Structure 1
């Protein structure tokens, strides 16, 4: 087997996705690198001379304390500043081209939602978001809802969503019907069956990484994400555990996100299993997932129809006629409520931050005798 960039320890920036546009953003006196892992105030980065571990500069720590979105994450391009003792520090995060961001959501009384309106970037500068769902779970309504949720966030990230129905070797009959049902839940998104055991779908997934493209793979524990990454890399770069025969489930042993260069070109970000992921600052992600409902809504009598009890609602008529699954409309309700709720929480947080900033400014003005009440 030929050595991969990962095993050789050497990288050409172009194979990691470096571009002239990024070079124009690089601060003077720094060198570029790409974040492969993050861990408590430090990051493992890939530079042109190989991997290295660097700590965050004071300015990066201050920016992250003010806004968690500014915290370096896997996939980020960063600027390294050489230090006198021969080490480097992570001096700045370069502008992100795309970012997969989840909201700070947990259980509460409002449709299971609570949080502070702040987000967390799971991956940055990716071209593709692989939404992995194991075939033996994908027929469950809750799992179709999970696929819809992840695809909505993928659209919002700016990257291309692709759904991978994994472990199809464990699915006995009705695979074509399953794929059709999933495709109907995510209009305009490509859906592919994958079986690493049979070697099916791996090359299709690798094809999305042509050149120096980057993908992130997201999904629940036991979806076979690390197994897929290993198959695409051609070597065991991620530790995996065998699926339990009793229920087809497995425990994902990945505990942190990691950027993996793929031999022959491209990179992939493996992630831990996702149990709950909240929406964050949505614009049109939900609308794109539910394009069929948006199209039906154009025929409603009222332009602000909420599709609940309004007369002349084309969406409710489609449900009654069996043209639109009731499950899908319920999923639309849930994501719309959550997106609106998170937007309101974000607005509250921003207003509080603005108030704190003005108080700091007024204190400084009083300190220098510039304040006139």
Structure 2
């Protein structure tokens, strides 16, 4: 049994995308209570079936096991079904996008950031937070998520060289990423973000602490919901004013997910670096040798482009760094999966030997 039109209206207010694929997912839920994850805790989730509520529910038991794959657990923005009592999550609905990164530290585990988002707004301050190489790293993550990137340059009212900064992002702009310079405190300035915030749409804000995510969130909400702090003058760093990921309905009809500031933007192993550096790939096809490593080989088009200023050397070096990091993360991920398969087979054998299970 499908939800009533009134129930669907309530779901749309928390970002339900009313299209054919999601109607099929809704029908497959077979009358179960549908909810969206709006908050996440260590051992529980906050979910909502309408814009003005948040219910604490428990995850399925397998999700609580240490070796359960993180990408198979719910993240903020996911749609789930609940039991009749509305106390427990029964199942996770298929995703249309999932933004994730490599978890901080030496290991290569994955950390989910947000699910089912249409656009990822990369918030960068036009102060010492401005770093084209870090922006390129964000874009690699986002393009693997299934969502579209949007670059939001905040503190435009405090910067005298806004256009110069945008000019440094020429390759980013030419790749199709919209760039908006805003005063995050001014509702008229942030109004240029309206096309991404309509009914049925969900955006997530990512960026460093002090970049202005919480200030931007408050302006979009039209009220002071998120705490804000000043940044240090010497390096433009801020303290974490947002400490957890949370989904909020917007007056514009869409939904916004605010996230804590990221100190480390680490690749998960599922990305494709080439997608964000297609300008380098286009140059590389003109190298004399097909297997050119772009070092000292004769006839290297990449090195020639660096020498004549066609290609920014810092951008190329960042490409090489991200490519090598991705290869290491992908190798580690493959090793983890192989280890999990071996451990799973060993566990099944022990159960069979002890209990006679098949």
TM-score (norm 2): 0.89
State the match for 1:70 in structure 2: 72
How many equivalent pairs are there?
A: 345
User: Where do 1:187-266 residues align within 5 Å?
Assistant: 187-199=175-187, 201-243=189-231, 248-266=236-254
RMSD of aligned residue pairs (Cα, Å): 2.4
Q: How far apart in 2 are the matches of 1:243 and 1:66?
A: 38
Q: Which runs of 5+ in 1 are unaligned?
A: 1-9, 107-113
1:196 is displaced (CA, Å) by: 2.3
> Distance between the aligned counterparts of 1:11 and 1:244, measured in 2?
44
Partner of 1:6: none
**2:116 is the counterpart of 1:125:** yes
d(CA) in 2 for partners of 1:247, 1:60: 40
Q: 2:290 maps to what in 1? A: 303
Gaps of 5+ in 2: 1-7
- Alignment equivalent of 1:58, drawn from 51, 58, 61: 61
Partners of 2:194 and 2:252 within 8 A in 1 = no
Range with greater deviation from structure 2 (306-315 or 349-358): 306-315
Give the drift of 1:251.
Answer: 2.2
| CA-CA distance at 1:265 after TM superposition | 0.7
Deviation digits for residues 190-221 of structure 1 (CA, Å, limit 9, x no counterpart): 11101124445411123211221100010001
Shift in Å at residue 370 of structure 1? Answer: 9.4
Instruction: Describe the SS at the equivalent of 2:321.
Output: helix
SS of the aligned residue for 2:327 comes to helix
* TM-score after normalising by structure 1: 0.85
Counting only pairs closer than 5 Å after superposition, residues 20-35 of structure 1 correspond to structure 2 as 21-25=21-25, 26-28=28-30, 30-35=32-37
| Match status 1:320 vs 2:307 | yes
Summarize deviations over 1:321-357 as a string: whole Å, max 9, x none.
1111110111001100000000000011011011112
Change (3 A) 1:252 1:170: farther
Cα distance in 2 between the residues matched to 1:302 and 1:29: 60
Tell me: CA distance 1:311–1:282, structure 2 relative to 1, closer, same or farther (3 Å).
farther
Q: How does 1:134-145 map to 2 (within 5 A)?
A: 134-137=125-128, 143-145=131-133
CA deviations over 1:171-200 (Å, ceiling 9, x no partner): 12x211111212334632111101124445
Q: Are 2:332 and 1:345 aligned?
A: yes
Q: Is the 8 A contact 1:252 1:273 kept in 2?
A: yes
Name the counterpart of 2:3: none
State whether structure 2 residue 79 is matched by structure 1 residue 80.
no
SS at match of 2:54: strand
Q: Which residue of 2 aligns with 1:96?
A: 95
C-alpha displacement of 1:24: 3.5
**1:182 lines up with 2:173 in the alignment:** no
Q: Does 1:156 align with 2:156?
A: no
